[in-house]
Amino acid sequence: MILNINTYRNFLTFCLVLGMKFLAGQSVVENTHQECVHYCIHQNTKNAPIGIYNQDQRVHHYDVKYYGLDLSVQPWNTQIEGSVSLVAEIIADQTRFFVLELLNDLTVTEVLIDGTSPGFEHENNVLVIDLGEEYSAGSLVNPKIYYGGEPISSGFFNGIQSQQNGLGDPVLWTLSEPHNARQWFPCKQVLSDKADSVYIAITTPAGFMAASNGLLKNVTNLPGNKVRYEWKSYYPIAYYLISMAVSNYQEYSFYAPLRENIDSVLVQNFIYDRPQVLENNKEIIDKTAPMIHLMSDLWGNYPFASEKYGHAMAPMGGAMEHQTISTMGYFGFDITAHELAHHWFGNNVTCATWNDIWINEGFASYGEYLSREFLMGIESANQWMTNAHNSIKSAADGSVYVPSMQLSDVFRIFNGRLSYKKGAAILHQLRFELNDDALFFSIMEEFQVAFADSVATGDDFRRTIDQATGNSWEWFFDQWYYGEGFPIYEIKWWQQDGKLFIRSAQSTSANTPEFFKGALEFKVVTNGGEENFRVFQDEVLQTFEFDAISIVKQIVLDPRNFMIQNHTVWDSTETGNIRLNDIKVYPNPVGDRLIVEFPADRQPGRFLLYDSQGREITGYSENISNSIDFSSLAKGLYFLSIESDGGKRDVLKILKTH
């Protein structure tokens, strides 16, 4: 999901005036020069983001098979009248109470089960239906709930919202992620329980169209100048991906090719019924076709091909990946690719917990990069990844995995820097570590096959990699998924006796992990041309040796822009032609302690420490053996002067990062 920053600023002002709380994602730059944030959630205290499954375990006593929504709405307000039918299988013996979530703003008028009216209570946003008897596991129940009301709008990402678009036309739309489906229909908000199918009938005043999930089965004119749209989807669907959007739309549709152009899928677009809207957005909307073809080729065919892919416009300032019908506030290359990519990662395979939102947002964000790489060119893709790396490194810490103690903070779940940008970048880093694009994309497709129509965790994806490669990738996930920060390299190189030596010293931006092992790639530029060398660093300080007949002019770390890292490269002319018998200091950049190693033919001696202005730092003048305590010093550049036997003096630059 992506939110336009200008809309967000207006919303922020609105929230401050009303004294509301707000939660927002990190900002990024869209291809269309619009500054955006990838996700924003706003909920007031009443609509706190903790779902019922954290309060009442009876919600786990059944498995939802079917939702049937039959609603009457009008696009100029959020008033709802209608019913929701469920079919559910009881999975716990002696189940008598059927528990759903529904906002208190909506009034339940009647509940029917097989024509009878059981008792029910609707308090604290929880609907408890008394089934009248205890049901055993394997039994089916089919309650039908009649309800109505007008949910109070509580911000941009309310479950249901009505607003005029920029053309003055009314639009009604829903956005249920992460826990807001209960704001417009009674439901079970548990990620792992996907309904097998869903039916959505929407009655609205004539002159308006209603878009929803799946296939449009019927359009019926009704008395009272009303029209009824009936949608049906036969694919498993998570509660928060059920949606509707109502406005004075026009339909613009076409077919997009799937893998190898053998099959195609309907792309059904509901856009505002004004000539300039189609004219202004047609070029980007049409790019959906090559994007679907690309993603089908990389990850396996579009998962909902027997129904459709589509877009429905709404003045939400961003977009949401509702299954088969993304709700779009605007069209741009990145946002269109992102919401489409969600249909593989997020919709077909859904995160099993909000801790693992990476499965949704990190993968969909990488879909932006891949769309640029294969459809716009590597230069455009590198620009995207550079922006992502800069966002990631704007703070020193934070994991892609969302710790459980932070799940009550919706801003943390949908953090643009971590869940989106770093989530995408560690996939790119994994691609680099595998060093085999065919293998990398086959793993992503196998993950789609293994967890289709279901949910998965980050560890499920890791196990898919383990199985495909025959190796354990736990080390990679410990560092990049569960760990925080990124590595910082100091690279020094020199030539000696027909050899090129590259020494890599690593420190880290955060404390966990203390070291990132992994592949390094160097571009070596010589008088005779350039060549890439690949090594694997598994020690804090490591020296790599290569044959080098030509004179080396330059060393470039990570020439293809795969790695999340900061680095400094010192060449032989800048460091005084470093030799193998030099004093070694590491890690540099340093954190709390600097290790000093002397060659066998030199004895430790006195040292002095100076700041970046050349001023001696008192208390740092003594004889040393093998380490120096930097823990009390501030971040910055220092100069270490070491005098060893025979009066030999070395001056080394030391950078302290934390």
Q: What is the distance between the alpha carbons of residues 471 and 465, in angstroms, rounded to a whole number?
A: 8
Q: What is the distance between the alpha carbons of residues 320 and 314, in angstroms, rounded to a whole number?
A: 10
CATH number assigned to the domain comprising residue 519: 2.60.40.1840
Q: Give the pLDDT score at 548.
A: 78
Cβ neighbors of 36 (< 8 A, separation 6 or more) are: 2, 3, 4, 5, 27, 28, 29, 30, 318, 335
Residues 193, 209: one domain? yes
254 falls within a domain: no
Write the CA distances from 56 to 60, 123, 128, 239, 417, integer angstroms.
9, 13, 10, 18, 33
Residue with tokens 């032609």: 577
4 falls within a domain: no
Residue 212: alpha-carbon gap to chain centroid: 24
Boundaries of domain holding 501: 486-578
549 falls within a domain: yes
CATH number assigned to the domain comprising residue 651: 2.60.40.10
Domain end point (choices 462, 483, 504): 483
Question: For residue range 357-370, what is the model confidence (pLDDT) as tens digits?
Answer: 999 999 999 999 99
Number of domains the chain is built from: 4
Q: Give the pLDDT score at 658.
A: 74
Residues 474, 493: one domain? no
Report which of 456, 465, 458, 452 is spatially closest to residue 302, judged by C-alpha positions: 452
Residues 618, 565: one domain? no
311 falls within a domain: yes
Q: Give the pLDDT score at 608.
A: 81
347 falls within a domain: yes
CA-based radius of gyration for the chain: 29
Residues 101, 187: one domain? yes
Q: What is the distance between the alpha carbons of residues 637 and 634, in angstroms, rounded to a whole number?
A: 9
Residue 111: alpha-carbon gap to chain centroid: 39
Domain end point (choices 548, 578, 608): 578
| Phi–psi pair at 472, nearest 5 degrees | -85, 130
CATH number assigned to the domain comprising residue 56: 2.60.40.1730
User: Buried b vs exposed e over 153-188: b needs ≥16 C-beta within 10 Å?
Assistant: bbbbbbbbbbbebeeebbbbbbbbbbbbbbbbbbbb
Residues 180, 97: one domain? yes
42 falls within a domain: no
Residues 544, 611: one domain? no
Residues 82, 115: one domain? yes
Give the type of residue at 196: D
Domain end point (choices 431, 456, 483): 483
Report which of 335, 340, 326, 358 is spatially closest to residue 295, judged by C-alpha positions: 340
Q: What is the largest CA-CA distance in the chain?
A: 104
Check: CB of residue 609 under 8 Å from CB of residue 530: no
CA dihedral 563, 544, 585, 656 (to 10 degrees): -10
Count CB-CB contacts under 10 A for residue 461.
26
Residues 301, 229: one domain? no
The strand pairing partners of 651, in sequence order, are 641
- pTM, to two decimals: 0.85
Q: Give the pLDDT score at 401.
A: 98
CATH number assigned to the domain comprising residue 392: 1.10.390.10
| Phi–psi pair at 387, nearest 5 degrees | -65, -40
Residues 147, 220: one domain? yes
165 falls within a domain: yes
Residues 314, 451: one domain? yes
Residues 443, 515: one domain? no
Count CB-CB contacts under 10 A for residue 564.
22
Question: For residue range 497-549, what is the model confidence (pLDDT) as tens digits?
Answer: 889 999 999 999 998 999 999 999 999 998 889 999 999 999 999 999 998 77
614 falls within a domain: yes
Q: What is the distance between the alpha carbons of residues 347 and 246, in angstroms, rounded to a whole number?
A: 22
**Spans in the chain with pLDDT lower than 70:** 2-55, 154-157, 571-582, 600-605, 618-626, 644-649
Residues 565, 644: one domain? no
Cβ neighbors of 189 (< 8 A, separation 6 or more) are: 51, 52, 53, 101, 179, 181, 182, 239, 240
